[in-house]
């Protein structure tokens, strides 16, 4: 899909890779709609990139399905058809499962797993009517492999992968020209995962990761991990190794199960 002339909705678009994808999409002559909970961040992003093209922002808490519904109505009334949705907004609370509050569990699932479904549902009918569109869901490599101190985050991202690729198959079955891309990146150096230590697999840089995602949309990719070998590593490893051996390999040899030991997360 060429982004030139298209309207692209990016959730979490006022910071991190969301903000970078806003810039990259504007440079490709797309019109951008930012959804973010941070009004100050929205205003700063619009001011910074206004010279690159058409950009609009809406403050919305995507953990609230009512706000999603109301804001989607505004978008349709004020802007019109949305060609591309990038479900990027996400949160993590890094702690052992028994340390989570019920509120933390609910909010993580609402934002990471439920919001992409509710947002897509609001715009999918129009895409089906026009027989065109692209939905890109930013999941995580955590949706492929279990990890201590990430249990709720992992649950949300496993859910997102399952829904996202099922939606892709539904569009294929219905013979609709609506593409679905599922992205599964490793840790990204945006502040969201501050404190994470990864010695064997390199932590990703935001600029390169954002460009990979935008190119995946342009090339109508179905499912990609960043780095690319992660999907094959996990799937093949889990297929041929016993659980105990895979635990040793991922946990001890690669150190994945220790990456969250010093997690602090983004400072508020």
pTM over 0.85: yes
Which residue numbers are catalytic?
Answer: 153
Q: At 93, is the secondary structure helix, strand, or coil?
A: coil
* H-type alpha helices, the chain: 16-27, 39-49, 65-78, 102-109, 115-130, 151-173, 206-218, 229-240, 243-248
Per-residue pLDDT at 36: 98
For the beta carbon of residue 244, count every other beta carbon within 10 angstroms. Answer: 8
Per-residue pLDDT at 172: 98
For residue range 69-90, list pLDDT tens digits in order: 999 999 999 999 999 999 999 9
Per-residue pLDDT at 265: 86
Q: Are the C-beta atoms of residues 32 and 48 closer than 8 Å to each other?
A: no
CA distance 17 to 89: 10
Kindly list the structural domains of the chain, giving each domain's residue range(s) and its CATH number in brackets, ordered by start.
Answer: 7-258 (3.40.50.720)
Per-residue pLDDT at 267: 67
- Regions of the chain where pLDDT drops below 50: none
């Amino acid at each position: 899909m060429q982004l030139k002339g298209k309207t692209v909705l990016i959730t979490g678009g006022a910071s991190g890779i969301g903000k970078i994808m806003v810039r990259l999409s504007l440079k490709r002559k797309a019109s951008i709609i930012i959804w973010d909970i941070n009004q100050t961040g929205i205003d700063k992003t619009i001011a910074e990139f206004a010279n690159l093209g058409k950009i609009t922002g809406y403050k919305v808490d995507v953990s609230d399905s009512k706000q999603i519904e109301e804001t989607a109505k505004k978008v349709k009334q004020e802007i019109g058809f949305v060609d591309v949705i990038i479900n990027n907004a996400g949160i993590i609370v890094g702690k052992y499962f028994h340390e989570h509050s019920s509120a933390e569990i609910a909010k993580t699932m609402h934002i990471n797993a439920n919001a992409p479904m509710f947002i897509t549902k609001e715009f999918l009918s129009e895409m089906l009517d026009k027989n065109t569109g692209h939905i890109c869901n930013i999941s995580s490599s955590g949706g492929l492999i279990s990890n201590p101190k990430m249990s709720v985050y992992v649950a949300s991202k496993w859910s997102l992968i399952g829904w996202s690729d099922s939606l892709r198959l539904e569009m294929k079955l219905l013979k609709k020209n609506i593409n679905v891309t599922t992205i599964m990146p490793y840790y990204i150096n945006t502040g969201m995962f501050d404190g994470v230590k990864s010695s064997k697999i390199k932590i990703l840089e935001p600029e390169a990761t954002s460009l990979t995602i935008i190119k995946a949309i342009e090339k109508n990719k179905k499912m990609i991990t960043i780095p690319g070998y992660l999907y094959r590593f996990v799937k093949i490893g889990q297929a041929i190794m016993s659980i105990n051996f895979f635990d040793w390999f991922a946990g001890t040899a690669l150190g994945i199960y220790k990456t969250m030991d010093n997690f602090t997360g983004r400072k508020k």
